[in-house]
Chain A
Amino acid sequence: MIPLSRRRAFLIVFALLLTVFIAVIALALLGLRKGGYASSTAVVNSVQARSLARSGVADIWIKLSKDPLFPGGAGDDQLRFSFREDVRDIDDNYIGSYRVIMDRTDRLTHEVLRIESTGIAGALTDESSQYTIYAELSTVSGDFRFKVWQEGTNPRL
C-alpha cells in the first residue's frame, strides 16, 4: 500500500505537469495564428499607405489648381520637384507620410505634368508599408484633370 504522503506529492507533481502541458498547447495554438495576425496587419498597413498616396496626389492637385506655376520660386530649368508631408491624426499621433515627385519636362510641349505619389505608413524609423500612385495631369485650359491614374505601380520618376 502506498503511503498517504506519497499520494499527496503525486497530486502536486501531476498538477504541475498538467499545467506545463496545457501551457505548451496554448502557446503552440497562439503561435500558429501569428502568421495570420501579421498578414492582416500588413494588409491594413498597405491600405493605409494607399490612402496616404492618394492624399499626396490630392495635395499636388489642389496646389496646382490654385497656382498653375507651382512651385513658385523654382526656375524653369528645374524639371523635377519633390516634397514630403507628414500626416497626423486628430490626436496628433503620427500616421505616416507621403512623398510627391512632379516631372515638368512636358509641361510646355504636351501640357502634361507627370506626378508620382508614394504613401508611407508608419514612422520614418519604422516604415511598415509603401504604396505608389502614378498620374498624368493635363494642364490644358478647360481640361485640367488627371488623364492617367495608375495605382500600385513601381516608382517611375
Chain B
Amino acid sequence: MEGLFSLFIVFMVLGSLAHTLSQAATVKKNTKNMDQAIEEFHALFTMRADVLAALAISSPSEGGTSSTLTLSKINPMLSYSTRIDVLGDPLDPFEAAEQVTVEYRLEDGLLKRFQSAPSAGTTAERLLTCEQMEVSLGAGVPSILEIRLSFDRGRVVKQRSLKVAVNAL
C-alpha cells in the first residue's frame, strides 16, 4: 500500500514537472518569436518616424519602387532655439543647411541606416538582418509610401509591411 502511494506521489510530481517544463518551453519559444517581431517592428517604426519627419523623399521616385529609401529631414541634433538663432542664421527653422540626408539600404544581409550631415559626415546604424527590402511610393500628394521587408527565419520567410501617409515629395 505504501509502495503504491509512493509511486503515485512520484508520478504525480514527475507529471507536474513535465507539464511545467513543456509550458516553460512553449513560453520561451513564444517569447523568442515576440522578441524577433518587436525587433522587426522597431526597425519599421524607426523608418516610419523618419518618413513622417521627411521634408523631401528622393528615393523611391514618385509612383516608383526602389530597394532603398532616401529622404532629407531636419538634423535632430540641432535644437529649435539653435535653428532660429538670429545671429548669423536665417530665421527659417527648416532651411537646407540644417537638414540631414537619411538612407536605408541592405548591405551584407543587414538593413542599415545611413545619416549624412553637411558638417558631420556619415554615420551608419545596423538595424537587423533582412533578406529583401522594397519601398514603393504612390503618385501625387498626399500619397502612401509602403515599406516591405522580408526576413529569413529558418524554415519560413516572414514578410512585414508598413504604409505611411506622405505629405511631401
Q: Do A and B bind each other?
A: yes
Residues in B neighbouring A44, C-beta threshold 8 A: 34, 38
A69 at the interface (CB under 8 A from B): no
B124 at the interface (CB under 8 A from A): no
B93 at the interface (CB under 8 A from A): yes
Partner of A33, one of B3, B28, B35: B28
Interface size class of chain B, counting residues whose CB lies under 8 Å from the partner chain: 35 or more
Main SS of chain A's interface residues? helix
Q: Which of B12-20, B104-112, B128-136, B154-162 contacts A (4 or more CB under 8 A)?
A: B12-20
A40 at the interface (CB under 8 A from B): yes
Please state if A148 and B74 are interface contacts (CB–CB under 8 Å). yes
B49 at the interface (CB under 8 A from A): yes
Q: Which of A10-18, A72-80, A92-100, A120-128 contacts B (4 or more CB under 8 A)?
A: A10-18
Please state if B38 and A43 are interface contacts (CB–CB under 8 Å). yes
Please state if A151 and B45 are interface contacts (CB–CB under 8 Å). yes
Please state if B28 and A40 are interface contacts (CB–CB under 8 Å). no
Partner of B2, one of A11, A37, A110: A11
Contacts A12-B2, A148-B74, A149-B52 known; list 4 others, CB within 8 Å: A8-B3, A26-B20, A150-B49, A150-B76
